[in-house]
Structure 1
Amino acid sequence: MYYIGYDIGSSSIKVALVEAETGKKIIVLNEPQNEMEIVSLQPDWAEQDPEIWWQHICVATKRAIREANIDASKIKGVGISYQMHGLVVVDENGSPLRNSIIWCDSRAVEIGNTAFTELGEEKCMTHLLNSPGNFTASKLKWVKENEHEVYKKVYKYMLPGDYIAYKLTGEITTTKNGLSEGMLWDYKENKVADWLLDYYGIAPSMTPKIVENFSNQGFLNEKGAKESGLPIDIPVVYRAGDQPNNALSLNVLNAGEVAATGGTSGVFYAVTDATIGKSTRVNNFVHVNFEEKNPRIGKLLNINGAGIQYRWLRNNMGDETYESMNHKAAKIAIGSDGLVVLPFGNGAERMFNNKNIGTHFLNLNLNIHSSSHLFRAALEGIAFSFVYGMECLKDDNATIGVIRAGNDNLFRSEIFSNTVATLIGHEIEIYNTTGAVGAARAVGLTDGDFEKFGSNISKNDHVMTFLPLQNSESYQVAYQKWKKELEIILTHNK
């Protein structure tokens, strides 16, 4: 028997098949082979057609079944991970009325900031644990204000994962964790934040029915089964945003455990049991195993400009590979001979209160600096941004016990991982897993045995551990120089 998991990213759709009994990976692949298009009609806008996600899911599912050479009838459940904070609006027939406004779109920043001011910091932080910010609710308000003809036809709003669950089952539903990602969940009242919808002038009837995680959230209907290649009547059991799901994939489920991601964007996601919001630079979400009597909150510190910075360098430096870039960077001393890179060129940064400060290459000396210095300074700059983010998390009362990360882009670099581990003073455990694998394994959690789930991850997926280096002085000096340059830019942008 098998479970299947999807991870709906903004660059590709990933699918994984795992053995139901052991969680062993059978196959992991992604579609399309090149990155999916992000439509940007104006600066800082980002949209995708949700039907494209579905098309790639169908292709990827059939590929996975074919290439794994398994009997599709033995797939017994579906788990879904998805890009957070996106907005999909559909009419009464379930058809999308416009492109999805995705996570990195910044058009609703001022709408959320105004709501935070007018509704009051105390109300927002005690009930939402966040500012309404640039999240799903504010994006829906933007549609209401700017696309009147579209808005008049809206039957339901959804998160991206809700839309895929709908395509599979024909049922429009959402989850507590999904609503919390959109700033639509009231932690104090343990229900939908209808007062925020009322403030935005949005009808509460637009909110989908809420289903519980690790339960039968809906069964594949004939249309969803035929198009995807999956068996009819199997359940969708689990769905979560990519960062909470990444945490689950890394066995980050309890207070004091932290998941780190070093992909296009960078993330620290710290689990806590405190339903308190303090800083708007850190966002709080219902974690996948949240219960009212046993709350689990994920504190998310996001860095938009992370791996995308290193990818930009690779794409614009000829025939370099990440391996060759890392090799050249390793030949340069810590601190990159004074060259500083601030890697924040991918839109507004929440940890800077939604300022867009851009990427900066500082102190470039044409007589001494080479491409190798650029590679080292970029890796250090991204690592330093993680360290700065960890300081923000600790300021928000996050407790750090253990840090776990996937064996993905940035954490493959010893320079990056050693720099982060040394400056934050914590071990970083590296695991060879993915969000799609985690979503597939989560299908088996209807039994609630999180301890067994976690032990299987430790047994099957642990790769290595980066330890803080004992001699940290040169790292500290380089970080303080970087931080000083950052603070000058932040002051200038006030």
Structure 2
Amino acid sequence: MHFLGIDLGSSSIKLSVLDAEKGDIIATVSVPDSEMDIIAPKFGWAEQDPNLWWNYVKSGISQLGQKHSVDLKRIAGIGIAYQMHGLVLTDAQLNPIRPSIIWCDSRAAEIGDSIYDLIGHQNAQSIILGSPGNFTASKLKWVKDNEPEAFAKAAYFMLPGDFIAAKLSGKAQTSTSGLSEAALWNFSKGRLATEVLEAMELPTNLVPEIVANFGQQADINPVVASELGLSPTVKITYRAGDQPNNALSLNVLKPGEIATTAGTSAVVYAVSDNDTYDANNRINTFLHVNNTESEKRNGVMLCINGSGILYQWLRRIMSAGSNELISYEKLNAEAAKAPVGSEGLRFYPFGNGVERIFNNKPATSGIQNLNFNIHQSPHLVRSACEGIVFAMNYGFDVMKSVGASGTVVRAGKANLFLSPVFREIFANTTQTTVELYNTAGADGAARGAAYGYGYYKSLDEAFDSLKCLERIEPTTALSQQYAEIYQNWKNTI
């Protein structure tokens, strides 16, 4: 029996197929061939077309069958991971009525702040463990206030992965953890945060059917199944935001376990059994995928917006004048040529919208101490890696202050964690052991689908075949060096 995992990112969409009997991922594709465009009609805005996501998903499924010889009829269940905090508005026929306002769009930050003041800070923290911030609910309120004609056409609001599930099944649904990502989950009552909807003057009828993260959520639409070459008995059995799902893919499910990733954005995500929050909203708490009424599991998360997107920027800049972009492997090799500390060059990776660690205030990137006689491209790339890790550690310090910490951090061997230099900087700056695994978000979504379907009886069984590839331990000498460099970097934020 096979299970399909879909990971809807803002740069690409990845799909993986799990052979559940063997416990192995047998095929993976990424679409499109180049990175997806982010539309920015105004400063601080970021949008994407949901119909393009759907077209890429269909293309990816076709490639699995045609290029990888996957028997699509053997797929029994589908799991979906997706970029968090986006807003998709559809009509009753599930057609988008405007582009999706995605996670790094900053336009609704002021609305979130005003609603936070209206509800009362302590009251909001007791309900949603923080501020509505720049999350999905605030984006929905922005559309109501600024695009009333579009809002009037809306039958449902969904998160990006909910939209893909709806296109597969014909049913509008969202999950409990998805509502927590949208700042619409009442943690103290275990229900929809109607208090936030009322404060925003938003109708509850826009909220689709609420389902658990795991379970037989919906059947595939037979017409869609025929179009895609899938069995008409396929079920949607799992959905989650990309960071809870990344933690799942690394088998990070218990209190004290920590996952990290450094894709377009950089994230550290710790599992807690408490309703933990930061009074200054520099980090956020969401329902983890395995939360239940009897066993509380939350994900405490820090996010740095400018991570892989900074690496993409460097790649373009350093490829200027060439007919093709240099590879990320070349960037990683360049970073290794510069010494620890990049000979004083400091990079601040804050150039992709408002930053949560600065309480959703606009922040811009910057380079300090540049010396034209000393610094070359290796220094620039290494200082970018150091700056990304330092920004992550700044948030990690906040997580530690609220009790969400640990000494081992798990990561997929992907994106920036492919760089030995980045891994060294991370382990020694955070003073944690980094465990690397050969897994990715689409792989985790496929395993989640198998568990949600009921093929695996426990999540431990679903991840029994997951093996650690490599452990990077911090060293005393390097940790001391990075501690001093980090402190200097932090003092000039």
The answer to whether the superposition gives a TM-score over 0.5 is yes
Q: Is the 8 A contact 2:27 2:70 kept in 1?
A: no
Equivalent residue number for residue 486 of structure 2: 479
Give, in whole Å, the separation in 1 of the partners of 2:226 and 2:115: 44
Q: Which sits farther off after the overlay, 251-260 or 212-221?
A: 212-221
Q: Deviations along 1:388-437, whole A, 9 cap, x unmatched?
A: 12112112221314210011121122221111111222101011111111
Amino acid at match of 1:370: Q
Q: Which sits farther off after the overlay, 178-187 or 396-405?
A: 396-405
1:455 pairs with 2:454: no
1:455 to partner: Cα distance: 2.6
1:246 to partner: Cα distance: 0.5
TM-aligned CA distance change 1:71 to 1:366, over 3 Å: closer
Equivalent residue number for residue 490 of structure 1: none
What is the SS of the residue equivalent to 1:253?
A: coil
What is the SS of the residue equivalent to 2:310?
A: helix
Give, in whole Å, the separation in 2 of the partners of 1:226 and 1:104: 35
Give, in whole Å, the separation in 2 of the partners of 1:8 and 1:322: 21
Map residues 135-154 of structure 1 onto 2, 5 A cutoff: 135-154=135-154
Equivalent residue number for residue 491 of structure 1: none
Give, in whole Å, the separation in 1 of the partners of 2:102 and 2:223: 26
Equivalent residue number for residue 219 of structure 1: 219
Q: Is the 8 A contact 1:265 1:303 kept in 2?
A: yes
What is the SS of the residue equivalent to 2:34?
A: coil
Equivalent residue number for residue 388 of structure 2: 382
Q: Which sits farther off after the overlay, 298-307 or 380-389?
A: 380-389
1:288 pairs with 2:297: no
Q: Deviations along 1:212-246, whole A, 9 cap, x unmatched?
A: 22211000112221333321121100000000000
What is the SS of the residue equivalent to 1:390?
A: helix
What is the SS of the residue equivalent to 1:278?
A: coil
Q: Is the 8 A contact 2:11 2:264 kept in 1?
A: no
Give, in whole Å, the separation in 2 of the partners of 1:22 and 1:187: 38
Give, in whole Å, the separation in 2 of the partners of 1:323 and 1:155: 46
Amino acid at match of 2:4: I
Equivalent residue number for residue 35 of structure 2: 35
Q: Is the 8 A contact 1:186 1:193 kept in 2?
A: yes
Equivalent residue number for residue 273 of structure 1: 273
Map residues 164-183 of structure 1 onto 2, 5 A cutoff: 164-183=164-183
Map residues 107-146 of structure 1 onto 2, 5 A cutoff: 107-146=107-146
Amino acid at match of 1:397: G
What is the SS of the residue equivalent to 2:261?
A: strand
What is the SS of the residue equivalent to 1:313?
A: helix
Amino acid at match of 2:483: Q
1:136 to partner: Cα distance: 0.6
1:338 pairs with 2:347: no
Q: Is the 8 A contact 1:59 1:228 kept in 2?
A: no
TM-score, length of structure 1 as denominator length: 0.95
Amino acid at match of 1:480: Q
Q: Is the 8 A contact 1:221 1:233 kept in 2?
A: no
1:448 to partner: Cα distance: 4.3
Amino acid at match of 1:309: L
Equivalent residue number for residue 416 of structure 2: 410
Give, in whole Å, the separation in 1 of the partners of 2:265 and 2:180: 20
Amino acid at match of 2:464: S
TM-score, length of structure 2 as denominator length: 0.95
1:367 pairs with 2:373: yes
Q: Deviations along 1:308-349, whole A, 9 cap, x unmatched?
A: 212211211136433333333223221111111111111111
Equivalent residue number for residue 351 of structure 1: 357
Map residues 319-338 of structure 1 onto 2, 5 A cutoff: 320-338=326-344
Give, in whole Å, the separation in 2 of the partners of 1:88 and 1:308: 23
1:103 to partner: Cα distance: 0.7
Of the three residues 439, 443, 450, the one matched with 1:437 is 443
Q: Is the 8 A contact 2:282 2:395 kept in 1?
A: no
What is the SS of the residue equivalent to 1:216?
A: strand
Q: Which sits farther off after the overlay, 316-325 or 439-448?
A: 316-325
Equivalent residue number for residue 243 of structure 1: 243
1:76 to partner: Cα distance: 0.8
Give, in whole Å, the separation in 1 of the partners of 2:401 and 2:107: 28
Give, in whole Å, the separation in 1 of the partners of 2:330 and 2:238: 40
1:70 to partner: Cα distance: 3.0
Identity of aligned residues (%): 45
Q: Is the 8 A contact 1:418 1:469 kept in 2?
A: no
Query: Which 4+ stretches in 1 moved above 4 angstroms?
Result: none
- RMSD of the alignment, in Å? 1.3
Equivalent residue number for residue 317 of structure 2: 316
What is the SS of the residue equivalent to 1:78?
A: strand
Give, in whole Å, the separation in 1 of the partners of 2:263 and 2:362: 19
Q: Is the 8 A contact 2:73 2:229 kept in 1?
A: no
Amino acid at match of 1:184: L
Q: Which sits farther off after the overlay, 140-149 or 400-409?
A: 400-409
Q: Is the 8 A contact 1:339 1:374 kept in 2?
A: yes
What is the SS of the residue equivalent to 1:417?
A: helix
What is the SS of the residue equivalent to 1:123?
A: helix
Q: Is the 8 A contact 2:287 2:298 kept in 1?
A: yes
Q: Which sits farther off after the overlay, 387-396 or 193-202?
A: 387-396
